[in-house]
Chain A
Amino acid sequence: MNITQLPYIKEIYGFLGSDVMSGLVGLLIIAALVPLNVAALVLAERKVAGHIQLRPGPMEVGPHGILQTLIDAVKLLGKEMVTPGLTDKPLYWLSPIIVVAPAFVGFIPIPFSPLVQIKDVNVGFLLIFAFSSITIISILMGGWASNNKYSLIGAVRAVAQNVAYEIPLLLSVMPIVMMTNTFKLGEIAQAQSGLWFIFYQPIAAIIFFIATTAETNRAPFDLVEGESELVSGFHTEYTGMRFSLYFLAEYTNMVIAAALFTTFFLGGWYGPVLPGAVWFFAKTYFLLFVVMWMRWTYPRIRFDQLMNFAWKVLIPIALVNLFITAIVLKVI
């Protein structure tokens, strides 16, 4: 399944060829897809959590509770947006708005199928990584502006954690770039028409998965919002829709991370019989399931363990892996 087999689609939707138009349509689709997707993921998370703990999860709203998150969204919309007294008002107001922006930008270079991609930008995944760092700035802003010691500790932890885990994240992707000689996600996915890169680069895949889990502040790396010690971390003081914007960003970042993993290591849209986009989404949602599964399996790690793991284990192994890849590519 590639573009050459389906020339007529390009003709029918020829007006989508222009960048402005495809960008506009793409962003509209993303704006519609992201909240619905998050609603589905929150429900899935609660169901997975429930069944791992031998309970059914939400069951009351709709059959098997499938409307639960929609009702929760209505509840959050109806809530008062409390601004505590001694907050830094502009930053407090701005932080949940900024946190959503990278979540939307992250979808631009992701190739859901050869046709369904908003724009295969030259810098490719570097765009996503660069914008995902903005998330951390807004977390720091939110934690700082809340004027709450728990929020601030959570925000400081977020910064330290993300600085540490961005290095293995990039180092684990570099072997892929060396193998494909491109940053474009579409071309990286296309290079896996034969064997998926997870079989060439299993160690890089594992490191990438761990690092993205840490980057998205998911358990077992969710020290940022460790509710047993920090109430709720950086979004302790946020209520209503502002709180749900943080939630939206967290789950959307998870989707982007899983989509990147699919593109880099699981062969993107390649798969038998079914069309490409279906395979891509199947792989992405399987990875999201793994992330949820991990969350409800592992206890939260301690902060020194978190730092040791990044600096003493992930980064050296990622460097050695990169080195070996470079030698092997040079020799072959």
Chain B
Amino acid sequence: MNTNPYGFNQYIKDILIGGKSLVVGLWITLKRLFTRIVTVQYPRQKLTMTANFRGHIEAIRFDDTKSHHCVACGLCARTCPSHVIKVQGEKTRAGDKKVGTRYYIDFSKCSLCGLCVDVCPEQTITFSKEYELVYYSRWDTVIDIMGRLEGSR
């Protein structure tokens, strides 16, 4: 057996091995050709986001009040490392709970750390599944959470 790397046997061997590898490659792409496509025709079809997808935060609607449970305690605003959250509430009658009326986040500064979601004593905020996050102006990145909740009713 000639083991010279430039010998005739090696030459033939190279051609045969190379040819085999080409056929293997063609077989792989042929199988792919008849596999189901995996892409989504985006504007017509949309993906459902996974359970742990983090969009910007949103308020949860509860069935008992048909609204959020925000009491405007401000813990989320205080814990936020980027000072993204601004929350206001009002008390309509003495002895009642305070109720959150305005809730704004500046999403351009949000780092999606999730501290606000963790800290909320009423557990009324969560991550939304919003992924179409394109804006024309940086002012559009200020998201009205309560308005969003009203609008989605």
Is A122 an interface position by the 8 A CB rule?
no
A54–B29 contact, CB under 8 A? no
Question: When the two chains form the complex, which single residue of A48, A51, A297 contacts B25, counting CB atoms closer than 8 Å?
Answer: A297
Is B51 an interface position by the 8 A CB rule?
no
Tally the A-B contacts, defined by beta carbons under 8 Å.
37
Chain A 269-309 interface residues, beta-carbon cutoff 8 Å to B: 293-294, 296-298
A55–B39 contact, CB under 8 A? yes
**Residue positions of A touching B, CB distance < 8 A:** 48, 50-56, 59, 293-294, 296-298, 313, 317
Chain B 7-41 interface residues, beta-carbon cutoff 8 Å to A: 15, 22, 25-26, 28-30, 32-39, 41
Q: A298-B22, A313-B15 are in contact. Are A56 and B29 (CB under 8 A)?
A: no
A297–B41 contact, CB under 8 A? no
Of the A-B pairs whose beta carbons lie under 8 Å apart in the complex, a sample of 20, sorted by A's number, is A48-B33, A51-B32, A51-B33, A51-B34, A52-B32, A52-B33, A54-B32, A54-B39, A55-B38, A55-B39, A56-B37, A59-B41, A293-B29, A293-B30, A293-B33, A297-B25, A297-B26, A297-B28, A298-B22, A313-B15
How many residues on chain B are close to A (CB under 8 Å)? 16
Extra 17 A-B pairs, beta carbons < 8 Å, given A53-B32, A56-B41: A48-B33, A50-B37, A51-B34, A51-B37, A52-B29, A52-B32, A54-B32, A54-B36, A54-B38, A54-B39, A55-B37, A55-B38, A293-B30, A294-B26, A296-B29, A297-B29, A298-B22
Chain B 137-153 interface residues, beta-carbon cutoff 8 Å to A: none
CA distance A51 to B34 in the complex (A): 7
CA distance A138 to B123 in the complex (A): 72
A293–B38 contact, CB under 8 A? no
Distance in angstroms from A76 CB to nearest chain B CB is 25
Enumerate chain B residues within 8 angstroms of A56, measured Cβ to Cβ: 37, 39, 41
